[in-house]
């Protein structure tokens, strides 16, 4: 059996390609979509909060 490193992990012919493909999918598809969703969700929460509590500004005198 051929080992890929000193850690005794069997070398798989397509493992490197799958790892690179998964990294590219995560880096350029999943994380940007997740980042936009988090920022959009926060903005939506602030918008709803301001609809209920009123806009920010100086206190009424």
* Domain assignment of residue 11, yes or no: no
Cα–Cα distance between 25 and 30 in angstroms, integer? 6
Reported pTM: 0.67
- For 20, residues 6+ apart whose C-beta sits below 8 A from its C-beta are none
Determine the structural domain holding residue 23 and report its residue range. 18-52
Q: What is the pLDDT of residues 3-20, one digit of tens each?
A: 666 666 666 878 889 999
| Angle at CA of residue 10, ends 2 and 6, nearest 5° | 80
**The two three-digit tokens of residue 41, written as one number:** 């969700």
Q: What is the pLDDT of residues 6-58, one digit of tens each?
A: 666 666 878 889 999 999 999 999 999 999 999 999 999 999 999 999 988 88
* Domain assignment of residue 2, yes or no: no
Cα–Cα distance between 56 and 49 in angstroms, integer? 10
- Residue 4 DSSP class: S
* Domain assignment of residue 5, yes or no: no
């Amino acid at each position: 059996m051929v080992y890929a490193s000193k850690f005794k992990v069997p070398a798989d012919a397509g493992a490197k390609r799958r790892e690179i493909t998964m990294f590219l999918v995560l880096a350029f598809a999943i994380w940007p979509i997740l980042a936009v969703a988090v920022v959009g969700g926060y903005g939506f929460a602030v918008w709803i909060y301001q609809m209920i509590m009123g806009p920010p500004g100086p206190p009424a005198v």
